[in-house]
Structure 1
Amino acid sequence: MGSLFEELEAREAAAQERVEELEIELSDLTEQLGLAREGMERLRIARETVAEVMAEMSADAPVTAEDPAAEPVADEEASSPYAGAQRQVMGVLTVPKWQPGMRVDVLPRVYQDILEVVADAPGPVRAKQIVPRIGLATTSGRIEGTRSKLKRMVERGWLDEDEPGLFTPARRRTDTSSNSE
């Protein structure tokens, strides 16, 4: 009977060794998966940023007097090598520089929502506080996209950023809003 117990111990030792090998393999794969996810997230954020930059560049192009909010999407689709493929096409979102007398309704809806959240806040707000209040999931991509919009709104006079990452309604806009034409 001694040899049966020896055989079982040998098999147990072999199984233990295999478990340890698989745990090491799993650890390596988990690390690789984490790195792949990071790379994928960076690429997604880069794609969104490039799309926003291109949209801004398109917004600076001359627009016809007939429809100043025209979105040059149809021609872009026709000439695209992906024409006919199922994909989401981003239109051009224009954020004009704020001028006295300019109303919030000249902004795209998402920017209006952001302005409303910032105006309703008791103090300065961060992008990650705004994202859930405008109905978006609180993922890093959505937060970065919203932060980009906030920076654009600061750049164009709709908001102020006295401290990095803290946004408030533009004092210039609220100070001059009573002098509207």
Structure 2
Amino acid sequence: MSADGEAVVTVGSLLEELARREAVARQRIAEIREQIAALESRLEDEHDRLSRLVITRETVEEILGEAAELVGEPMETAEIAGGGIDTAGAVPARPPVLGVVTVPPWRPGMKAAVLPRAYRDAVEIMVDAGRAMRAGQIAVAMGLPDVAAKREGLRSKLKRLVERGWAREEGPGLFMVTEPVTREMSARGNGGSRDGIASSSASSPGG
């Protein structure tokens, strides 16, 4: 074989090797993208699981708090009617559970004022925005730092609002107040009453 022939074979082999390596690199990129997509899906599932656990815990605390009140009421009624209860046979009422957050199911005519402060602020911010928002955007509009702990805490509250009919989830991680709630609040002029929250949400880049 001539020197020219050897040169042609060498260059051809080099081009084939480069093409092979390029194909391998493209395949690796495709595989990594698939792994990232799978991890993002798993992350979203874990977010949902955490939110459900927080909601379940708060619901149990709420039920226990209401049960404690129901146990106390019959005793008070009996004391008034009978002039007292024999302390030896009385069943003491359980102390109320501290830190219980009550979010009532939404009904026509219900105002956002019935909600605990953080829930009320979130509802009013979403009403002002008029669009679906993420927990991080609402947190920033509330003046909270956009950090994972705050986002997750607020995310669980938004899930609770969805559970109780105040809001709906437009997509994964996107929350919006329901149309009946928006109409009710607009009719009653509840917007812009968050002690400065409205102005901060209007100027916030995340709002």
TM-score (structure 2 length as normaliser): 0.48
Distance apart, 1:39 and its partner CA: 1.7
Match of 1:53 among 33, 52, 56: 56
Q: List 4+ stretches of structure 1 deviating above 4 A.
A: 63-69, 139-147
Give CA deviations for 1:70-119 in whole Å, capped at 9, x if unaligned. Answer: 13xxxxxxxxxxxxxxxxxxxx5332568x9x993x74331131243356
Alpha-carbon offset, residue 19 of structure 1:
1.3
State whether structure 2 residue 136 is matched by structure 1 residue 128. no
d(CA) in 1 for partners of 2:160, 2:154: 10
**1:87 paired residue number:** none
1:70 corresponding residue in structure 2: 98
Report what 2:161 is aligned to. Answer: 150
Contact 1:96–1:107 (8 Å) recurs in 2: yes
CA contact (8 A) 1:127 1:147 kept: no
Segment of structure 1 superposing worse, 57-66 or 19-28:
57-66
| Local SS of the residue matching 1:95 | coil
Unmatched runs of 5 consecutive residues or more in structure 2: 73-93, 169-176, 189-207
Tell me by how many angstroms 1:40 deviates.
Answer: 2.0
Query: Which stretch of structure 1 is more off in the superposition, 127-136 or 5-14?
Result: 127-136
| One of 19, 40, 45 as aligned partner of 2:43 | 40
Secondary structure in 2 matching 1:23: helix
Q: SS where residue 128 of structure 1 aligns?
A: coil
**Offset of residue 126 of structure 1:** 4.5
Q: In the alignment, which residue of structure 2 is the partner of 1:116?
A: 124
What residue number does 2:25 align with?
22
Distance 2:155 2:183 in 1: 20
Figure out how many residues of one structure are paired with residues of the other and give that number.
141
CA contact (8 A) 1:95 1:108 kept: yes
C-alpha spacing 1:6/1:141, structure 2 compared with 1 (3 Å): farther
CA RMSD in angstroms comes to 4.5
Q: Any idea what SS the aligned residue of 2:102 has?
A: coil
Distance 1:68 1:93, change over 3 A: same
2:182 match: secondary structure:
strand
**Which entry has the higher C-alpha Rg, 1 or 2?**
2
Write out per-residue CA displacement over residues 134-158 of structure 1, whole angstroms, 9 at most, x where no aligned residue: 3576x9979964642433454xxxx
Q: 1:47 to 1:135 in 2, by over 3 A?
A: same
Paired-residue identity, %: 17
